[in-house]
A and B are shown apart, each in its own frame.
Chain A
């Protein structure tokens, strides 16, 4: 398991691995939105939580198809399936590796980009907390979508269509936490629901993903 995690991280940071792709996209969104909306602090501050969460979600989506497609193309998915690693564990580890190279850097970069969007000072803590709790769900759900479309040629479009609706609850509750946090309101309910989605997805979806991969490898 550790070996698979290290291999995936190593592949991600080496040439053509896709590390930084999501981060660069997130940066672009956060830089371009103020230019498009205009420099009025009040408006920007109001939409900042939503923009940051949508940006994080779309950057996660960018690299999803790489989770299994590359391993499928070069045959290592077949070999992993016949190796002593349980497929459920392999899927969970690959989702974790995806989160470490996309979700975690996004979470760490978000406060800096929040400045560009005039996010109210009280929102920064909740922005980091909500992304930290919510982005693992994006990776796990995305891994499930990637597992469903693994054998499909140019499956990226199908993958996006499958995964986007599943991302909606995370987006709503994540942005709600930041919005309420920035306004100084009670955040316990959306935060609990956000955490519940992540916990549920992480507990159940690796099994579904492993089953989907087994069917797709036939």
Chain B
């Protein structure tokens, strides 16, 4: 269950934003991606999640092992908290709804409409989806946005438990989660500079 990335280049809107990126994420470890806005954190995570193709390089992720959480939580406003989670539990073929509700402290909200949740509560519900997925590798894009300090601590504890159980996590975040076992990877040095890469990408984009 090891994620291996070698010499990866990713593009956004036809422009290569990151290149020459290599890292390994073994089980039980977390990797925090840092870098200024626009450096390509989201693009990298979307590429790893398989939503867009890589320009160059290789990504090796064991099949059926990755759970991706984007900026948006993918909640349905007219479903209740428990129904939202039950849907994803059925999609991933797990029955972990109760564990996830307990894990993200959502038990009391289980019968509330997702529409009536606060931004932080919605975020917690979005993150609870990771728990019902039962997948070992978490790829998280800004997971702590709109969470209060207590919820950030709760989330850090959830991630720590996930790592202790042999999972791994790749996070793009600006906040210090207090994860001692997390390594930090600054993406700034991997910014694409080579002109050839840019032109090539633009050239191909013209034929899409």
Q: CB distance A14 to B78 under 8 Å?
A: yes
Contact of A11 among B71, B73, B79, B92 (CB under 8 A): B79
Contacts of B52 in A (CB 8 A): 217-218
Query: Given the complex, which residues of A lie within 8 Å of B75, measured CB to CB?
Result: 74, 76
* Chain B residues closer than 8 Å to A10, beta-carbon distance: 78-79, 83
Interface string of A1-21 (1 = CB under 8 A from B): 011100100110011110000
Which of B51, B70, B90 sits near A2, CB closer than 8 Å? Answer: B90
Q: Assuming the A-B contacts A3-B90, A7-B87, A85-B91, are A75 and B74 also in contact, with contact meaning beta carbons closer than 8 angstroms in the complex?
A: yes
Are B66 and A82 in contact (CB-based, < 8 A)?
Answer: yes
- Interface readout for B57-100 with A: 1 if CB under 8 Å, 0 if not? 00000001011111111111111000100111011110000000
Residue of B46, B52, B69, B91 ringed by the most chain A CB atoms within 10 A: B91
Chain B contacts of A218 at CB under 8 A?
51-53
Main secondary structure on A side of the interface with B? helix
Could you tell me the distance in whole angstroms from the C-beta of A43 to the nearest C-beta in chain B?
A: 44
Q: Is the CB of B49 within 8 A of A82?
A: yes
B-chain residues with CB within 8 Å of residue A84 when the two chains form the complex: 64, 91-93
Size of B's binding interface in residues, CB under 8 A: 31
Which has the most chain A C-beta neighbours within 10 Å: B51, B53, B67? B51
A85 surroundings in chain B (CB, below 8 A): 91
Instruction: Mark A179-201 against chain B: 1 for CB-CB distance below 8 A, else 0.
Output: 00000000000000000000000
Q: How far is the CB of A72 from chain B (nearest CB, A)?
A: 10
User: Quick check: is A79 within 8 A (CB to CB) of the other chain?
Assistant: yes
Q: Mark A21-57, 1 if CB is under 8 A from B, else 0.
A: 0000000000000000000000000000000000000
Residues from 141 to 179 in B contacting A, C-beta threshold 8 Å: none
Q: Which chain A residue lies CB-closest to B84?
A: A7
User: Does B50 make an interface contact (CB < 8 A)?
Assistant: yes
Which residues in chain A, 63-105, are within 8 Å of chain B measured between CB atoms?
Answer: 71, 74-76, 78-85
Q: Are B79 and A81 in contact (CB under 8 A)?
A: no
Q: Are B72 and A78 in contact (CB under 8 A)?
A: yes
Query: Which B residues lie within 8 Å of A74 (CB)?
Result: 72-77
Using A78-B68, A78-B70 as known contacts, say yes or no to A3 and B87 having CB atoms under 8 A apart.
Answer: yes
B78 touching A7, Cβ below 8 Å = no
CA distance A98 to B51 in the complex (A): 25
Chain A residues within CB distance 8 Å of chain B: 2-4, 7, 10-11, 14-17, 71, 74-76, 78-85, 215, 217-218
Residue pairs across A and B with Cβ atoms less than 8 A apart, 29 shown, are A3-B87, A3-B91, A4-B87, A7-B83, A11-B78, A14-B78, A14-B79, A15-B78, A74-B73, A74-B74, A74-B76, A74-B77, A75-B70, A75-B71, A76-B72, A76-B74, A76-B75, A78-B72, A78-B74, A79-B88, A79-B129, A80-B91, A82-B49, A82-B50, A82-B67, A82-B68, A83-B88, A83-B92, A84-B92
